[in-house]
Amino acid sequence: MDVYKITGENRLKGTIKVSGAKNSAVALIPATILANSPVTIGGIPEISDAWSLKALLEEFGGKVLFQNGVMTVDPTNMIALPLPNGNVKKLRASYYLMGAMLGRFKKAVIGLPGGCFLGPRPIDQHIKGFEALGAKVTNEHGAIYLRADELIGAKIYLDVASVGATINIMLAAVRAKGKTVIENAAKEPEIIDVATLLTNMGANIKGAGTSVIRIEGVDELHGTQHTIIPDRIEAATFMIMAAAIGDGITIDNVIPLHLEAVTAKLREMGVKVETEEESIFIPRTDFSALKAVDVKTLVYPGFPTDVQQPLSVLMTQATGASRVTDTIYPARFKHIDELNRMNAKGRVEGNTAMVSGPTPLQGSTVTATDLRAGAALVLAGLIAEGETEVRDIYHIERGYSSLIDKLCALGADIRREKISLETADK
Ligand SMILES: CC(=O)N[C@H]1[C@@H](OP(=O)(O)OP(=O)(O)OC[C@H]2O[C@@H](n3ccc(=O)[nH]c3=O)[C@H](O)[C@@H]2O)O[C@H](CO)[C@@H](O)[C@@H]1O
Ligand SMILES: C=C(OP(=O)(O)O)C(=O)O
């Protein structure tokens, strides 16, 4: 088993560069299926989700080159093979193969997705959208079967403003006949990024980034080049790290507008956040002035659920009782038990976690139960006294590109090591 071993309390200083957005990359890569010639995307993060998607596209005839952050997909020889198992279960975003394959081939068989278990993560809104476009959708033996004689544009009202459903319906609708309107669409920046790629491939999409998206289907989409947006969740993780253990850290390659909710909440805590056009500087925090806050996760542009877990680590260092309410994933609190193993004072009631501080954290052996829980534990390890061992790091490596190298370049002491199962059992 691979683990991270972190020796804490090193002050970190310097510049850290944010990679391309995971949640864009995992949709942009499946979107290439819809083209009739190669698509090149720059800035793809070196994360296992990107490698899993590369393998999946290759399973049904795609030619994929992924080098130095640039992925080129030649989709011309793809055929609609079923993908019921294996790589589809390694990530959440394999659900985008449904929309993209349905759009191109009018049929698909895709296993139910994996990804972080954050409580129930239904895909009923994706399916409702596909059905509205004319697909017959069945769930057989853990795989979703989709088939349509033709896709016809429709008006689709999403019961929840789901990121995945919005993008998935867009992927199918760009090749449907006529007009599709998605109402109560999600507004996350990654949706605009996917719409930009599709538009550059020849699609006709209006309103991405607002709650009403209008799509006029086209007969063909062609190859193009695209550069991905920076990862706002990785940037937020680094902002929190800088506040928790930084001696002056510049976070480079960010779109500050995408980080407004996080910036506002950090400022409310007493963290100084200096925003430039494409970077953010966080000076050393005055911990005597770090205050407890309440935070509620909301759809974009609200505070992102993906950042509440890392933020709870900073809350352990703030004076007073902080509260995190997750309205998107009410059970996304497995990290609290793990932080408590490190001497944090956290407690969960319903969809809310209470974290009291300030508490000196102590190094311990902890488990990354999901991606952002893992990021939170790495942050906790960086500030804790002594050594922290983080297990199940495959979750972290689904979404953070070259994390160890980036943190070590700032002065962190982190090693990725293999431990035997006997050692793990002790
Ligand atoms: C690959 C990717 O982009 N993952 C992100 C995406 O996940 P994902 O796209 O899975 O999240 P959604 O936006 O779809 O989910 C939001 C809420 O809607 C519910 N829901 C969703 C779909 C559906 O058909 N029915 C339904 O009830 C979910 O249970 C959840 O409570 O957005 C989440 C919310 O910002 C982020 O935490 C994830 O990092
Ligand atoms: C929950 C996340 O990812 P996924 O949807 O891919 O599981 C995340 O990025 O925090």
426 residues of the chain, pLDDT tens digit each: 999 999 999 999 999 999 999 999 999 999 999 999 999 999 999 999 999 999 999 999 999 999 999 999 999 999 999 999 889 999 999 999 999 999 999 999 999 988 778 888 999 999 999 999 999 999 999 899 999 999 999 999 999 999 999 999 999 999 999 999 999 999 999 999 999 999 999 999 999 999 999 999 999 999 999 999 999 999 999 999 999 999 999 999 999 999 999 999 999 999 999 999 999 999 999 999 999 999 999 999 999 999 999 999 999 999 999 999 999 999 999 999 999 999 999 999 999 999 999 999 999 999 999 999 999 999 999 999 999 999 999 999 999 999 999 999 999 999 999 998 777 776
Q: How far is the CA of 161 from the centre of ligand 1 (A)?
A: 8
Residue nearest to atom 37 of ligand 1 (CA): 306
Our mutation pick for probing the ligand 1 site, out of 121, 158, 258, counting the most ligand atoms within 8 A of Cβ, is 121
Q: How far is the CA of 377 from the centre of ligand 1 (A)?
A: 23
What is the DSSP annotation of 221-271? B---EEEPPB-HHHHHHHHHHHHHHEEEEEEES--GGGGHHHHHHHHHHT-
- State the closest ligand 2 atom to the C-alpha of 306, by its place in the atom list counted from 1: 10
Q: Which tokens hold the place of 409?
A: 């370049």
Q: Which residues line ligand 2 (CB under 6 A)?
A: 22, 91-93, 115-116, 306, 371-372, 399
Q: How far is the CA of 158 from the centre of ligand 1 (A)?
A: 12
Q: Is 116 a catalytic residue?
A: yes
Interface predicted TM-score (ipTM) over 0.90: yes
Same fold flag, 2-19+230-425 and 22-227: yes
Residue nearest to atom 3 of ligand 1 (CA): 23
CATH tag for 2-19+230-425 (out of 3.40.50.720, 3.20.20.70, 1.10.150.130, 3.65.10.10): 3.65.10.10
What is the DSSP annotation of 101-160? HHHHHSEEEEEPP-S---S----HHHHHHHHHTT-EEEEETTEEEEE-S--B--EEE-SS
Q: What is the CATH number of domain 22-227?
A: 3.65.10.10
| Extents of the domains making up the chain | 2-19+230-425, 22-227
